[in-house]
Structure 1
Amino acid sequence: MERQLRLCDCNRSFAVDEKALAAGTVPLKVHHELCRREIGEFESALACGDVLVGCTQEAALFAEVAAERPTARIDFFNLRENAGWSAEGRGATPKMAALIAAAMLPEPEPVAGVTLAAGNQLLIVGEAGAALGWAERLTARFDVSVLLTGMSRDAELPTERRYPVWSGAGVTLTGHLGAFDAAWTQQNPIDLDLCVRCNACIRACPEGAIGWDYQVDAARCRSHRACVTACGTVGAIDFARTDTRREGRFDLVLDLSAEPLIKRVEPPQGYAAPGRDPLDQALAAQALGDLMGEFEKPRYVALDPKLCAHSRSRKTGCTACIESCAAEAIASAGDTVRVDPYLCQGCGTCSTVCPTGALASQYPRVEDLGLRVKTVLARYREAGGEAPALLFHSAEAGRALIDRLARRGKGLPARVIPFETWSADAVGLDLMLGSLALGACQVAVLAAGTHDATPLRAQAAHAQTILAGLGYGGAHVRVIDAGDWSELEAALWDWTPAQGVSRPATFRLVARKRDTLDFALRHLHALAPVPVAEIPLQAGAPFGAVAVSDACTLCMSCVGVCPTGALSAATDAMRLGFLEKSCVQCGLCASSCPENAIALTPRLLLDDAARRVVPLKEAEIFHCVRCGAAMGAKPIIDTMLARLAGHSMFASEAQRRRLQMCADCRVIDLMENENGTKAWDMTE
């Protein structure tokens, strides 16, 4: 059975060159009303096999028709908003060909997942009036528990005990969907779990300090303790309670507090903090209802601990991923970091800022994106396109902005090829430079939907500095922080094409970030208008040099902590070597140096020297003054002698001389001189 390609010019609202697009593709036909008058032809195509439809607006209709033929597969891509609806729509045939080629690629291998399971145990947190009101509305759908965090004298606990109600302060909340752990301190003298709601305490209190929510107003209470007497053997009131710690686990949380308990840009699924607006609260409650059950979510990020430059020997180096994670899903775990897949939302910023590639975005993988980039650019050139610019954008926010631009403005320029990915936050330096090496003359990242465009702008700045240093003219990389379609239109239509490579690279982007960067930089350097050997970079760049001062004693502490093997100790001499190609400027060497002898210099070295181990410092070997055995680098011994010169334990010449001996000779010398006897002959 043959795959069919069906395009539609949507009632002739844009031009499609059927003859030009048909070259080198599967059977193709252009329609005018595929979703209406020509729906029968779509059904006929299904009878012949799988169908690829260049329309996303009517995807639901086409999928409904295709459901009658479950053996046929149907896929969609957007030709109208991404290419046809444009002021340059008639010149967009190369871009249409590129979009078709991308849509024809096989689906990537599935990403490993993690299972989330949530029952119906819902914790509602907040002031009594709002919390109890929503508890009454939701108790039929959820297994509700209520934690009151503020007094409301007019709010009344229900007369029927249909769900637990607690009161407390200092609430903390951790965890994720299906496993939220709440902890709080019970400050209210009345234990609402024990209270039988007889109202005896309310009637007995002479100050009226107890409200209908059974919480004691400490400002009014005058310690008469009439309420305790009235409570009697029920024992729900205790002003001297010492065991005040309370905790519980819940599947879902509706937080009605004025300030959210979880203050994150990307809160975990299953947690809703809608604030005080009743409509927002209703929408949040409805959304929580859709999260009951078992769900599979991708493991968005893969971690290779061996490449992690976070820490070594209790010295902290790189913390970029921890600082940039909007979901707070990344934490220190000793010498490496730990990623909580249950909290991770897949923004990919961690993979963007990781200098070594220890964290790699998996949804999608860079190698899968790279294949699409290579395919799109190759087909665009084959169809006669020039000066291609790739526009990376997030799946939801970016797509919506591009659609509005197509409907209300000039649309995308014919040379701008939209490139949808799960999250634009994950577009790092390797993808930017790799795309330019593969033949794009420019790369833009649409920041709509991103958490923080700062890391993207830093990556773009590094890329632009490198390209400018190599003599490529123009603005090659930009981050477009557009709030509406008109800002996106201005940013794209005023963008003059930049100078690209004269010959596209043939390599494919690979999983290891540093390998992709190496391939891309070699190609860009080989074809550069100004093939300089060195380019100065801004602080924070993942390339650079290491220098050591005269204070270095060759203790080799830096070698032990270097996560990438950029620093090495020679096996034939006391020599510290440096391989600049492997240096990521994490700073672990500098923070671990006991002599503060190491300095970092961000730069990009592009000649062969970057791929050779060069000596940073070499010193003669110090030999034992008694037996001549090698003891290590002479600067280490010299430094030790200088520091201990004034110490009382090494006041005599004999004691100082002993410091210059190996361990065996030191023992022998001690026995000979301190005990007054001659040691045994070591040659016997």
Structure 2
Amino acid sequence: MPLDPQALGKALNENLTLHSTLCRREAGAFQQAVRGSEDVVVACTQEKRLFGELGQQTEGAVAPIRFVNIRETGGWSRDARDAMPKLAALLAAAKLPEPEPVPTVTYKSAGRLLVIGPLELAERFAAVAGDVLDVTIFSRGGSGAQERRFPVMGGRIEQLDGWLGAFQLRWSQDNPIDLDLCTRCNACVAACPEGAIGLDYQVNLQACKSHRACVKACDVAGAIDFTRAPVAHEEQFDLVLDLRQQPAFLRHAPPQGYFHLPPGEATGAQALETVVRLRELVGEFEKPKFFAYKQKLCAHSRNEQVGCNACIDICSAEAITSDKSRQQVKVNANLCVGCGACTTVCPTGAMTYAYPKPGEQGARIKTLLATYERAGGLAPILLLHSQERGQAQVEELGRAARVGAAQGVPANVIPLALWHVASTGIEVWLAAVAQGAAHVAVLATGEEAPQYLDALRAQMDVAQAVLAGLGYAGLHFSLLHARDANELDAELQLLRQRRGAVPAVRGRFAVTADKRATLDLALDHLAEQALARPDAIALPAAAPFGNILVDKDKCTLCLSCVGACPASALQDNPQQPQLRLVEGNCVQCGLCATTCPEQAITLQPRLLLTPERKQPRVLNEAKPYGCVRCGKPFGTLKAVEAMMAKLAGHAMFQGAALERLKMCGDCRVIDIYSATDESKITDL
């Protein structure tokens, strides 16, 4: 690689020495470095294991060791000589502290494996896993092997749910032949005059004429009983291998511990990989709890009225469900796969990504962009990709560029690995543009759920509309699709030309854990530096901010919308009948429109740029209605008139009762008791 240690050192404010054979004859330099107290960054991930072992074997080694790949990400590229700013940025980001520990989710597996599918195929898989795992087979039948080595259950599966270490199988035994007792002697097959029993040892009850010759033929084994009623069974397993054509879980992200191999894929490398993974899943395992949830910010429901379902609709693992009675959503941490899509579509920030936390991810992006600019780089492009398949494509592309088979990652494209590409959204992207990113690209490799890509496109449309409205020319966001390194190479060559305008003064703010606060910081900086400053920018329907329109002819100022608003955007006025809006707080969840009994509310997605955005604005007001007895205001004229119009024909509200609707609560009680006393005097 054509590395320039002086240029890199200047950008990092350090004196650097270039080692070209550090993993072999220059290893002593590494050992000397790890004896110090400062962090050691090794700019090579291929020999991570070697350096890790070498560090452990070095006496007095105390320095933390971190690794970063600068070879495939830019050192091996046709632009390698111009890539020093990017490499400096990658080195600087590698020196940042590791993400803080977060709560974990624990799985415990004793190795109880359920194999579902054709008996012969199921027995083959059980044979190669049975020395490690406790295997049970569930099959509708099949010839199978002569030697019965594993328990076989049969019947109709009613339900299969759960996750690694806690799968629950419910089934009913509805076939006259008990496969666990069956010896597969085939006597029943030969005895059946209708041929209603096949080699799958299932009785076709439509063809059976009740001769019961099979029962007599199976007298010794006693495996056939037509009088046996379907029996419900339930059992727990730690792992599931499903060999049927149709999987038990149709969701895009099945639970951990569940593996689906349809018959056409049950051989070869994929089958071998599945068996290896199954054998490894015995013991206790942990994963980060990827999300944090703040119920009081949630716009899902109020008063059992549903407003926002964004997180429920997008979750590909079906880990999020509604709990309207508690005005919140529930997340099953055992099913959560950590994609983070729920956090990016959440308009309020009630759901946030926890590993890494928003501030840690923001600090990484800010460091990359600031170091790149300080090193003389121009028009940086952030390439957000997954840390598995996306990372593999980037590395494969770099190796191809090394031998001239590809162009490699362009000098101004900075790859950033994420646990999942759906884990960042509009607030992170706009913050990146405010801090100098000329473009933010998200790489989809085919492993993402379709709804994730739809959500990413929708958010990119909103973010692009904001920047276009502020006068920032060019395209700032794109969703790339690449199934392999060749397609990625072509996409990146087109990407290098997609450069949007950025603020003249870079934003120095930090991404916070509060999504709305980060959005406000980014928007305020972008608006302050904008070439255009309209009063408002119209936005697509997916926008997490906007206006509320009230039909004043319908609105009675009942203020039920104020009680439903989760963001304190809608407010009342304690001094007089008014409905007010702080537009900057509105998340466009729709709870107000759902709650409004008069259907007087309409949402208007937009970004207001005037100072009024953060100030209460009156949407509707009315004259107060004074009690006809004491004169104290207790409602609005329109509300009282609407109430009287609706109740005038009711049998309970006639005469004096209807007149009491014009009184405040106190006077209404006094009037009722006064009327009661007068009636008693009349009776006397």
TM-score, normalisation: structure 2? 0.91
1:110 CA drift (Å): 1.6
Please tell me whether residue 169 in structure 1 is matched to residue 161 in structure 2: no
Residue 28 of structure 1 aligns to a residue whose secondary structure is: coil
CA distance in 2, matches of 1:59, 1:677: 95
Partner of 1:179: 166
1:95 CA drift (Å): 1.4
Q: Which amino acid aligns with 1:351?
A: T
CA distance in 1, matches of 2:673, 2:68: 87
CA distance in 1, matches of 2:55, 2:247: 45
Partner of 2:453: 453
* C-alpha distance after superposition, 1:584-615 (max 9, x if no partner): 10101101111001110000112211101111
Cα 1:134–1:383 change in 2 (3 A) is closer
CA distance in 1, matches of 2:262, 2:76: 40
Partner of 1:516: 518
1:21 CA drift (Å): 1.5
* C-alpha distance after superposition, 1:138-163 (max 9, x if no partner): 332211111113x43xx146555x43
2:252 and 2:316 in contact (8 A); partners too: yes
Cα 1:396–1:305 change in 2 (3 A) is same
CA distance in 2, matches of 1:234, 1:487: 61
Partner of 2:371: 379
Cα 1:231–1:65 change in 2 (3 A) is same
Please tell me whether residue 593 in structure 1 is matched to residue 599 in structure 2: no
Please tell me whether residue 436 in structure 1 is matched to residue 433 in structure 2: yes
2:384 and 2:442 in contact (8 A); partners too: yes
Q: Which amino acid aligns with 2:16?
A: L
1:441 and 1:501 in contact (8 A); partners too: no
CA distance in 2, matches of 1:309, 1:241: 52
Please tell me whether residue 660 in structure 1 is matched to residue 658 in structure 2: no
CA distance in 2, matches of 1:128, 1:167: 10
CA distance in 1, matches of 2:560, 2:246: 47
1:640 CA drift (Å): 1.1
1:254 CA drift (Å): 0.5
Q: Which amino acid aligns with 1:399?
A: Q
Please tell me whether residue 569 in structure 1 is matched to residue 572 in structure 2: yes
* Structure 2 residue corresponding to 1:612, chosen from 596, 612, 615: 615
Aligned residue pairs total 662
* Structure 1 residue corresponding to 2:18, chosen from 10, 30, 33: 30
Please tell me whether residue 78 in structure 1 is matched to residue 66 in structure 2: no
User: What aligned pairs does 1:241-640 form with structure 2 within 5 A after superposition?
Assistant: 241-276=228-263, 277=265, 278-279=267-268, 280-334=270-324, 335-406=327-398, 407=400, 408-448=405-445, 449-451=447-449, 452-494=452-494, 495-549=497-551, 550-640=553-643
1:38 CA drift (Å): 3.1
1:82 CA drift (Å): 1.4
CA distance in 1, matches of 2:343, 2:459: 12
Cα 1:478–1:213 change in 2 (3 A) is closer
Deviation larger for 419-428 or 205-214 = 205-214
CA distance in 1, matches of 2:220, 2:563: 68
CA distance in 2, matches of 1:653, 1:209: 80
* C-alpha distance after superposition, 1:40-82 (max 9, x if no partner): 4434444556532111122233333333127344321111111
Please tell me whether residue 122 in structure 1 is matched to residue 131 in structure 2: no
Partner of 2:57: 68
Deviation larger for 424-433 or 400-409 = 400-409
* C-alpha distance after superposition, 1:195-235 (max 9, x if no partner): 67787755654444344554322233211234445666987
* C-alpha distance after superposition, 1:299-351 (max 9, x if no partner): 01111111111111121111111111111111112221111111111111111
Cα 1:422–1:238 change in 2 (3 A) is same
CA distance in 1, matches of 2:280, 2:72: 31
Cα 1:376–1:133 change in 2 (3 A) is closer
1:511 CA drift (Å): 0.4
Deviation larger for 460-469 or 225-234 = 225-234
Deviation larger for 409-418 or 466-475 = 409-418
Instruction: List alignment gaps of at least 5 residues for structure 1.
Output: 1-13
Q: Which amino acid aligns with 2:499?
A: P
Cα 1:233–1:55 change in 2 (3 A) is closer
User: What aligned pairs does 1:101-116 form with structure 2 within 5 A after superposition?
Assistant: 101-116=92-107
1:122 CA drift (Å): 0.4
1:159 and 1:197 in contact (8 A); partners too: no
Residue 414 of structure 1 aligns to a residue whose secondary structure is: coil
Residue 67 of structure 1 aligns to a residue whose secondary structure is: helix
1:409 and 1:489 in contact (8 A); partners too: yes
CA distance in 2, matches of 1:284, 1:516: 42
2:157 and 2:169 in contact (8 A); partners too: no
Q: Which amino acid aligns with 2:85?
A: P
User: What aligned pairs does 1:212-251 form with structure 2 within 5 A after superposition?
Assistant: 214-228=201-215, 237-251=224-238
1:565 CA drift (Å): 1.0
CA distance in 2, matches of 1:598, 1:69: 69
CA distance in 2, matches of 1:145, 1:168: 14
CA distance in 2, matches of 1:281, 1:455: 33
Residue 677 of structure 1 aligns to a residue whose secondary structure is: helix
Cα 1:237–1:540 change in 2 (3 A) is same
1:630 CA drift (Å): 3.3
Instruction: List alignment gaps of at least 5 residues for structure 2.
Output: none
CA distance in 1, matches of 2:409, 2:491: 11
Deviation larger for 221-230 or 531-540 = 221-230
Please tell me whether residue 58 in structure 1 is matched to residue 50 in structure 2: no
2:188 and 2:215 in contact (8 A); partners too: yes
Percent of aligned positions that are identical: 47
Q: Which amino acid aligns with 2:455?
A: P
1:389 CA drift (Å): 1.7
2:6 and 2:15 in contact (8 A); partners too: no
Cα 1:28–1:599 change in 2 (3 A) is same
1:665 CA drift (Å): 4.0
Q: Which amino acid aligns with 1:418?
A: P
CA distance in 1, matches of 2:66, 2:663: 77
1:427 and 1:456 in contact (8 A); partners too: no
Q: Which amino acid aligns with 1:642?
A: A
2:76 and 2:408 in contact (8 A); partners too: yes
Residue 373 of structure 1 aligns to a residue whose secondary structure is: helix
Deviation larger for 460-469 or 261-270 = 261-270
1:543 and 1:602 in contact (8 A); partners too: yes
CA distance in 2, matches of 1:496, 1:261: 43
User: What aligned pairs does 1:85-96 form with structure 2 within 5 A after superposition?
Assistant: 85-96=76-87
Residue 78 of structure 1 aligns to a residue whose secondary structure is: coil
1:156 and 1:212 in contact (8 A); partners too: no
CA distance in 1, matches of 2:69, 2:298: 39
* C-alpha distance after superposition, 1:345-389 (max 9, x if no partner): 111111111111111111221110111112122212221122222
* Structure 1 residue corresponding to 2:125, chosen from 114, 130, 134: 134
Larger relative contact order, structure 1 or 2 (CA cutoff 8 Å, min sep 6): 2
1:402 CA drift (Å): 1.8
CA distance in 2, matches of 1:506, 1:437: 9
2:440 and 2:476 in contact (8 A); partners too: yes
Q: Which amino acid aligns with 1:402?
A: V
